[in-house]
Chains A and B, each alone.
Chain A
C-alpha cells in the first residue's frame, strides 16, 4: 500500500518536473520510479519514518499556522537587529511527541522561526537558544509543542 503511495508521489514529481509527455519519456519515468520504489522496499525504507503519511490530514492547517509564526518572528527579529536589544538566553524544553519524525518536525519548526534555534537534542529534551526573552517565552509556553503533538495525532 505504502509502496503505491511512494510510486504515485515520485511519478507525479517526474511528470511535473519534465514537462514532456510523449510515450518514450513517460515510460522511462515509469521504469525509473518503479526501480526507485523497488530499491526503497528492499532497503526497508518505506515505513512511518520514511513516508510519514499520518501527518497528511492535518498538515495544511499546521503549515498555515507555521507560516504565520515565521512571518511574525521575522518582523520581531528585524526589530531586534535594528534596535540592538540583544539579550541571548539558553534554556531547555521538554517534548511530548511519541515518534521520532514528530520530534524532528518540532525541532525544525523551532529552528525555522527566526529568533530561536535548537542547539542540542537528547531524549525528550531540547536545548534552545533564543535571541531575546520574548522569543524564549514563545517557546516556553509550549504552544508549538501542543500543535506538533496534535499534528502527530497519536495521543
Chain B
C-alpha cells in the first residue's frame, strides 16, 4: 500500500514539475505581457494542484490534509485575481496586446 502511494506521489510531483518547467520556459519565450500571463497561470493551476495532490497522498487522512486542501483553495481563489490585476494594469497603461483584435475592444 505504501509503495503504491509513493508511486502516485512521484507521478504527481513529476507532472507538477514538468508543468512548472514548461510554464517557466513560456515566461521567457512568449512575445508580450498578456501572453506571458498565460504561462504564469499554468504554473499557478497545474503546478500547485499536482504538488498539493502528491503531498495529500503522503499525509493520509489527518488535519494536515485539511490544511493542504485549504492552501489549494486559497491559491485557487487568489491566483486569477493577481493575473487579472496584472493584465488590467497593462491595459490602463495603454499597452496593446500583440496579434489580431476581433471586433471593437473596450
A residues bordering B, Cβ < 8 Å? 16-17, 19, 70-71, 74, 77-78, 81-82, 84, 86-92, 107-109, 111-120, 122, 125, 127, 129, 131, 136
Contact = CB atoms under 8 A, between A and B. Distances in A.
DSSP class of B's interface residues: helix, strand, loop or mixed? helix
Contacts, number: 123
Interface string B56-78: 00000001001100100000110
B84 A89 contact: no
DSSP class of A's interface residues: helix, strand, loop or mixed? mixed
Nearest to B89: A119
B63 A16 contact: yes
B45 A88 contact: no
A90 B42 contact: no
Which 3 pairs across A and B sit closest by C-beta, in order of nearness?
A: A88-B99, A111-B80, A81-B26
Interface centre among B29, B76, B77, B99 (most CB of A within 10 A): B99
A66 B38 CA distance: 17
Interface string B83-106: 110011011000001111111111
